[in-house]
Amino acid sequence: MVKPPGRRGGYTLTEMLMVVAIIGILATVGARILVQVNRYFIMTSTRAELQREARALMYVINRNLRQGTTASVIIDRANTSQPFYSRLTFTKIQGTTIRYYQSGTSLIQQVGTQNRTLTKNLKYLALTFPRSDDLSIVSVSVTLEKSIYQGRTKALHMASEKVRLMN
């Protein structure tokens, strides 16, 4: 194709400014969307991790506590720096003493003299007798917390169960 004489090809200044403005808007919006998607993915995976942890530790506590004797259950706290009702001590029918207690942000299981950390994301542990006339039922409540996204956002998961001692 032949160009008319005297006219050169190219873009006008207005067209160039419009392209730059559109690309700038897309880059700004695109970056925000990417940050939000990343934040959502991290939050969702952290919540799933805390739910798995809560289910696993509630299963362990429930399984062992069911085998405990009613007369041996003691609910107190490990020391004055820990919350009230954050330590559970009981003896299984076989004679093994088991203790669950909060130590900072960890939930510790002590079987005899061996300690095992069940989670390092513990925010709060509450152990109570829901009925004062029936000491064979123990309510176990845990709150797990994990910091995500540069420490500004926290994921929480709460779990609570009532466990009946069978012995």
The string of pLDDT tens digits covering residues 115-167 is 999 999 999 899 999 988 888 899 999 999 888 876 666 778 888 888 888 87
Long-range contact list for 122-131, CB < 8 A, 24+ apart?
Answer: 123/156, 124/83, 124/86, 125/83, 125/86, 125/100, 125/101, 126/83, 126/85, 126/86, 127/75, 127/85, 127/86, 127/87, 127/88, 127/100, 128/75, 128/85, 129/75, 130/162
What per-residue confidence (pLDDT) applies to 98? 94
Task: Count other C-beta atoms under 10 Å from residue 1's C-beta.
Answer: 2
pLDDT at 110 over 90: yes
What per-residue confidence (pLDDT) applies to 4? 66
Rounded-to-integer distance, Cα 100 and Cα 60, Å: 10
Rounded-to-integer distance, Cα 55 and Cα 127, Å: 17
Give the chain's mean pLDDT: 87
Name the 3-class secondary structure at 2.
coil
What per-residue confidence (pLDDT) applies to 55? 92
| Six-digit token string for 167 | 């012995």
For every residue of 69-85, DSSP letters joined together read -GGG-EEE-SSTTSPTT
The model's pLDDT over 86-108, given as tens digits with 9 standing for 90+, comes to 899 999 988 999 999 998 889 99
Q: Percent of the chain, pLDDT > 90?
A: 41
pLDDT at 3 over 70: no
| Strand ordering across the sheet containing 137-148 | 122-128, 137-148, 153-164
